[in-house]
Structure 1
Amino acid sequence: MRKIIKRNEPIALSNWKRHNPNGHYPDLSHVERQAIRDSCLKEQYYLCAYCCQRIDDKNSHNEHIQAQSVAPNQMLNFHNIVASCNQSKQCGDAHGSKTIPLTPLMDECETELKFYISGEVKGITTRATDTIKILNLGNGNKALINKRKQLLDALIFMHSESPEELQLLDDELLQILMEEINQPQDGQLSAFAPILQNILRQFLKK
């Protein structure tokens, strides 16, 4: 995950809430829902809030971190909404109405999940492990692990390194590589860029 810094809600949502003080999320039109998604995509640099694969307005949906059925008073709170991929049995689709103990709105989402070049992920804390299971981000999702591995390798090679050579880089080169990977292009980050950042931070600590 990558920590999401929520900004002001879109004007279309503010206007709708002003004219519909007793309204609910299901009452929103396509216009307001699209405005929410566009704002979330920009905040997230076009990465899924949970798995960090690339998304756009066609293959994503508005995801309530606190489910609407569990926290109806939060269904129109923009700070409770992120953009999730549409992958079946993963991320937003897997979430349902369960409570997510470690969310992408928390600083710790970048430190309590430990990723590997192999594409695998482990939770450092109990809540991280529970979150991996709830969102189906771990070993039970071989397709996601393989996708992570392939795109991590491609991202590494894009920056003129090989996966095997990463651990041999000195701290200065690792820092430069992290800065390059964390630099958006046209407002977008590369797929799984935060995952590679997570791995590089581990190498820096050695």
Structure 2
Amino acid sequence: MKYIQKNQEPRSLTDWNIKLGGRTKDWKSFNKSVKSDVYESLLKEQGFICAYCSRPIIRTTCHIEHYRPKSVYKELTFTYTNLIASCQGEDERKPRTPVHCGHKKGAWYDEELMVSPLDPGCETYFRYTGSGEIAPAQGVKEEAAQTTINKLALDIDKLRRLRRTAIDTAIQISEGLEEVEIQQLIQGYQKPDNNGRLTPFCHVIVYTLQKFVL
């Protein structure tokens, strides 16, 4: 999980909420144009990676996730700080195998046991192995980290394989480099490219290079 720094909400969403005037409306009533603006804003602020697993996402391969579920926190349905982009599309009729991240989480939420990608310290709550496994970091919100892994299915074989491929690629790139060059490589992984896109699983790569290569 990589930390997401929220940007200012789209002006169209601000106007939409003003128009609602405090009334609670169903998500299905959301104006399509405003919803499109929200999608674009979320993708950009996340560097086009999933808020939970960090797979690459585009408009057609993600859905707008309510961090605090809209079925429970109805007043936060259109609150931008409660919205993130999660992988696996928004068409609820389309089968997904295996289900993970936002669709796996569903309506579950626990203030104490859910690690939020909006928490600046969230990246430090997890550790990774060279084979792509994810586990709680020792001594730092271990129960919350393990619960989040379980509830979002972050350690399934599919995601392990994707993380391992990303790790192996980064290690190959780092072979033969001096320490200062590896540090520069790490800095590169921490920033989006010229198109505003982060490298998928960038925080996993950074963790691996810092722990096992330097």
Taking structure 1 as the reference length, the TM-score comes to: 0.87
- 1:28 aligns with one of 30, 48, 55: 30
Two-structure CA RMSD over aligned residues (Å): 2.0
After superposition, give the CA deviation of every residue in 1:92-116 in whole Å (9 maximum; x if it has no partner). 1101111151010012211011012
2:203 maps to which residue?
Answer: 194
Gaps of 5+ in 2: 90-95
Establish whether residue 179 from structure 1 lines up as the match of residue 179 from structure 2: no
Q: 2: CA distance between counterparts of 1:84 and 1:58?
A: 11
Return the alpha-carbon distance in structure 2 between the equivalents of residues 156 and 199 of structure 1.
8
**Match runs of 1:1-206 below 5 Å:** 1-21=1-21, 22-24=23-25, 25-86=27-88, 88=96, 89-99=99-109, 101-124=114-137, 125-138=142-155, 141-157=156-172, 160-162=173-175, 170=179, 172-185=180-193, 186-203=195-212
Query: What SS is found at the alignment partner of 2:85?
Result: strand
Q: 1:45-85, CA deviations, whole angstroms, 9 ceiling, x for partnerless residues?
A: 00000000110111001000000012111111100100000
| Stretch moving more, 27-36 or 90-99 | 27-36
Percent of matched pairs sharing the same residue: 28
**SS of 1:55 mapped into structure 2:** coil
Read off the aligned partner of 1:182 and give its amino acid letter: Q
Secondary structure at 1:122 match in 2: strand
User: Quick one: distance in 2 between partners of 1:9 and 1:68?
Assistant: 18
Aligned length: 196
How big is the shift at 1:154? 2.5
2: distance between equivalents of 1:69 and 1:199?
38
| 1:43 Cα deviation after fit | 0.5
Answer whether contact 1:119 1:145 (CA < 8 A) is retained.
yes
The secondary structure found in structure 2 opposite 1:111 is: helix
What secondary structure sits across from 1:84 in the alignment? strand
Deviation at 1:203, TM superposition (A): 4.1
Alignment-mate amino acid for residue 136 of structure 1: A
Give, in whole Å, the separation in 1 of the partners of 2:204 and 2:19.
Answer: 41
Contact 2:166 2:205 in 1 (8 A): no
How far 1:23 moved relative to its partner? 4.3
Q: Quick check: 1:114–1:199 contact (8 Å CA) kept in 2?
A: no
Q: Does the Cα contact within 8 Å between 2:171 and 2:209 map onto a contact in 1?
A: no
Structure 1 residue 202: Cα displacement: 2.8
Deviation of the 1:161 alpha carbon: 2.5
**Ranges of 4+ aligned residues in structure 1 off by more than 4 Å:** none
Distance in 2, matches of 1:11 and 1:117, equals: 43
Distance 1:18 1:161 in 2: 51
Q: Secondary structure of 2:121's partner? A: helix
Residues 20-29 or 119-128, more deviating: 20-29
**How far apart in 1 are the matches of 2:8 and 2:174?**
39
